[in-house]
Amino acid sequence: MPPKVPYKSQKSQGGQIGPAVKPVQSRTAKSISKKRDEDASTEVGEGADEWTPSKTLLKPPDQLELTEAELKEEVTRILTANNPHAPQNIVRYSFRERAYKPISYVDQLAIHFSLDGNLLLRDSDEGRRQSARVCLEPELAPVESTVIEVEEAEVKEEGSKEDIPAVSTEEAAEGEEPPPPLLKEQKLTNQFNFCERASQTLNNPVRERECQMEPPPRATFSATANQWEIYDAYVVELQKLEKSKEKEKQKPQVSKKEDKQRGRKLTSLESQSDDVSKVTKAAKIVERMVNQNTFDDIAQDFKYFEDPADEYRDQEGTLLPLWKFQYDKAKRLAVTAICWNPKYKDLFAVGHGSYDFMKQSRGMLLLYTMKNPTFPEYIFSSESGIMCLDIHNDHPYLLVVGFYDGNVAIYNLKKSHSQPGYKSSAKSGKHTDPVWQVKWQKDDLDNNLNFFSISSDGRIVSWTLVKNELVHSDVIKLSVEGTTMEGPEGLQLQTIGCGTSFDFHKKIDYLFLVGTEEGKIYKCSKSYSSQFLDIFDAHHMAVDAVSWNPYHMKVFISCSSDWTVKIWDHTIKTPMFVFDLNSAVGDVAWAPYSSTIFAAVTTDGKAHVFDLSINKYEAICNQPVVAKKKNKITHIQFNPIYPIIIIGDDRGHVTCLKLSPNLRKMPKEKKGQEIQKGPEVEIAKLDKLLNLVREPANKPAK
Amino acid sequence: MADTGEGKKEEADYKRLHSFPLIRHTDMPEEMRVEAMELCVTACEKYATNNESAAKMIKETMDKKFGSSWHVVIGEGFGFEITHEVKNLLYMFFGGSLAVCVWKCS
């Protein structure tokens, strides 16, 4: 920087050393405007930011002192376009001429500082537009605005400088072109490293909030205090005290005793409640021991008694009553289902509900064991009556239950809840009528538990337990369409569709039978939901039970309220055997040990046991098994191992009976020879019988 | 003579028997009541002859413990009707002849 040039003129000359075109232009415009409104800008500048301390210039000590005249003197300087630092003698190798050649072109451009300004030329289009925009304001306004803009630009410039501490002289010089106020210098500071900045933090805005709370409640009180009132009060109080003292004197002896007693009671109670959980097992064992003692003779009978009278009777046998199971809370509830546990042969489940349409109330699910006939092992009560139940073969702790209100539920004996683990609801497709039978199925392909249910709403539903949720799908609807297929008869059967019982074939997975309230039996397949494989006009009244023979794959039995029990070959439309029992038949069951033996119970309180191989026409045992004649027997089940049956009646009692030897005998002659071939013998035995019936039946048909 | 002797005896009895604090009316909660009662007893015993000082002591202590503003009246005979904040009133007799009424109302 040439020292002789005074400050003002220096401004107009801008970047001297290099011909920096850009800054020069903007600067000239700036300086023009500044010179013009020098006075105004000082004031405005000060006014605009009073808080910024004015800039002061530092004069180099060797600066020439010039007089006023000298200062005003115009100094002419010629600017050349040559960069003094640019090398003049660059030599490059030219491949074309294969020699080093000096290069004539020299880059003269040197940029020392560049800044894109936010200023507008007043004469430019943009400037005019802007001034036109503000022309509504007083004439001075545009001037002011330009000045402010200038200052803002300078502030920015300095900000950028601060970042780079090593500032070249040129840049510093440019930074020194501040607004005129600098002329009024007050303080000398180092221009190169001194910088003052100010900022204003945000003032927190002030808000007003008011609230009014309710004044605390008050009350008034008045009284008079004088000597006689005080005296009276004391006298009354003393009398009270005396009375209470007298009472206390009388009490203590009594109360002490009471306290002692209470203490004893409390301790005993506490100890009980504390230890109950620990003692449960021991208590259970003791309870069973006591029961074993009490019912010792019955237990002996169960194990060893074989009725010697059977020897002298020809074919007939008897039923020996053993234990009787009952529970107070289930006294008025009919036994609606019984089922042996497949794993624990002494355990069976009893469902309580009501068959009476008019007297529906709660239901109860009880599990008894023969080891403790006095009290049920498990007790579950439900809001709706239980109509049917089944225990899972592989998971003997899972019980599925069908309710009168159409719901199905799964109880888990492992869990101590009194509520079912899973239950269907109106949302999840429950039946709209009582569920008459439920049956566990083998786990499906995904190993989900699943079971079937049948209800008088005509649906047979397959329930699958998927991720703790019961998912239902209708297998068959015993709908009107299915029946109209029958043709002319269909007219009468418009209303049918009430399933009451079903049974799945032991071997053929898809095959199952459905008994209906109208007395029809449908042979269905799981794979055809709209069609029946076969229809049997089985009974005149509701079919109460259907059941496949455990040995013979073709044979099934059905019973009905029309007093009959019928045995069928599922390939033939007419029954093989028909037995009339003179009363509505509630249930029928095949014996697990023989293909030809079955038992039926009738509502007149009798149990009938048949052995076809001994008597094809009459029961070999026909015995009333309930105390009062009014009691109706509702269900019967054979124990899968022991020669006993359990019978449930509509008073909530379950009776256990032992079959006498005649009722379960294998012909003695055969015992030595063929006993090992059990199943085949059984099949052959029944086949033989069927052939006897079949041939005469088929011959007339031909 | 006998009468006077008996009278003296009665008076002594009376003073002895009637010296305990007797709460006539209060709606304070249990803790506060016990504390206020004990305070009144202490104050009345301390300033047996100066009801004003006793009242001042009770008032100031109550102000500190349960917040202002408490009012106390102590005397052998007076009638009053006051408005008090609910659960902040104690009216008791003490020493056979003093009535103390303490209440809060701000």
Apex CA A639: angle with CA A634 and CA A644, to 5°? 85
Task: Establish if B90 belongs to a structural domain.
Answer: yes
B86 touches chain A (CB under 8 A): yes
Among the listed residues A372, A403, A398, A373, the one whose alpha carbon sits nearest the alpha carbon of residue A388: A403
Which of A218, A224, A230 is closest, CB to CB, to B86?
Answer: A218
Range of the domain at B75: 20-104
Chain B residues within an 8 Å CB radius of A218? 83-86, 105
Nearest to A223 among B22, B25, B27 (CB): B25
CB pair distance less than 8 Å for B89 and A227: no
Ordered DSSP codes for A318-377: -EEEEEEE--GGGTTSEEEEEEE-SSSTTEEEEEEE---TT----EEEEEEETTBTTS-S
Give the 3-state secondary structure of residue A682.
Answer: helix
Who has greater pLDDT, A297 or A494?
Answer: A297
Which chain A residues have a beta carbon less than 8 Å from that of B95?
none
- CB pair distance less than 8 Å for B22 and A217: no
Structure-derived torsion over alpha carbons of residues A347, A353, A355, A360, reported in degrees to the nearest 10? 180
Closest CB to A223: pick one of B22, B27, B80. B80
In a domain, B5, yes or no: no
- Note whether B66 contacts A: Cβ–Cβ < 8 A: no
CB contact under 8 A, A216 and B86: yes
Whether A202 has a pLDDT exceeding 60, the answer reads yes
Domain count along chain B: 1
Assess whether pLDDT exceeds 60 at residue A670.
no
Paired residues of A524 in beta bridges:
A512
CA–CA distance, A596 with A576 (Å, rounded to integer): 13
Question: Is B2 a member of any domain?
Answer: no
pLDDT tens string A130-188: 777 776 554 444 444 444 444 444 444 444 444 444 444 444 444 444 445 444 545 56
* A491 has pLDDT over 60: no
What is the distance in angstroms between the Cα of A230 and the nearest Cα belonging to chain B? 6
Q: Which residues of A touch B80 (CB under 8 A)?
A: 222-225
Does the residue B39 lie in any domain?
yes
Q: Is B13 inside a domain boundary?
A: no
CB-based contact A226 B97, cutoff 8 Å = no
Q: Is B98 on the interface with A (CB under 8 A)?
A: yes
The ipTM, to two decimals, is 0.85
User: Per mean pLDDT, which range of A283-287, A302-306, A348-352, A399-403 is the poorest?
Assistant: A302-306
Q: Is-contact A378 A389, C-beta < 8 A?
A: no
Confidence of residue A571 (pLDDT cuts 50, 70, 90): confident
**Does A320 have pLDDT greater than 60?**
yes
Q: DSSP labels for A552-600? A: -TTEEEEEETTSEEEEEETTSSS-SEEEE-SS-EEEEEE-TT-SSEEEE
Residue B14 belongs to a domain: no
Cβ <8 Å between B82 and A222: yes
Q: Domain for residue B37, yes or no? A: yes
Predicted local distance difference test score (pLDDT) of residue B79: 93
What residues in B contact A219, CB-CB < 8 Å? Answer: 27, 83-86, 89
Give the mutation candidate from A220, A221, A242 for the B interface (greatest B CB count, under 10 A).
A221
pLDDT at residue A51, rounded to an integer: 65
pLDDT at A27: 45
Q: For residues A644 and A250, which has the higher predicted lDDT (pLDDT)?
A: A644
Beta bridge mates, A158: none
The angle formed by the CA atoms of residues A254, A257 and A261, to the nearest 5 degrees, is 140
Kindly report, residue by residue over A588-642, the tens digit of the pLDDT. Answer: 998 888 888 889 988 888 888 888 888 888 888 888 887 666 778 888 888 888 8
Confidence category of residue A53, pLDDT binned at 50, 70, 90: low
User: Is B1 a domain residue?
Assistant: no
Q: What is the reported pLDDT for B84?
A: 93
The encoded tokens of residue A655 equal 């009776």
Q: What percent of chain B has pLDDT over 90?
A: 69
Length of chain A: 702
Indicate the residue of A216, A218, A222 with minimum beta-carbon distance to B80. A222
Q: Do B77 and A225 touch (CB under 8 A)?
A: yes
Interface check for A228 against chain B (CB to CB < 8 A): the answer is no
**Hey, are the CB atoms on B79 and A233 less than 8 Å from each other?**
no
Query: For position B31, which CATH number holds?
Result: 3.30.740.10
Query: Which residues in A lie closer than 8 A to residue B25 (C-beta atoms)?
Result: 221, 223
pLDDT at A140: 47
Amino acid code (one letter) for A273 = S
Residues of B in contact with A230 (CB under 8 A): 76, 93, 96-99
pLDDT tens across A20-35, in order?
444 444 444 444 444 4
Confidence of residue A677 (pLDDT cuts 50, 70, 90): low
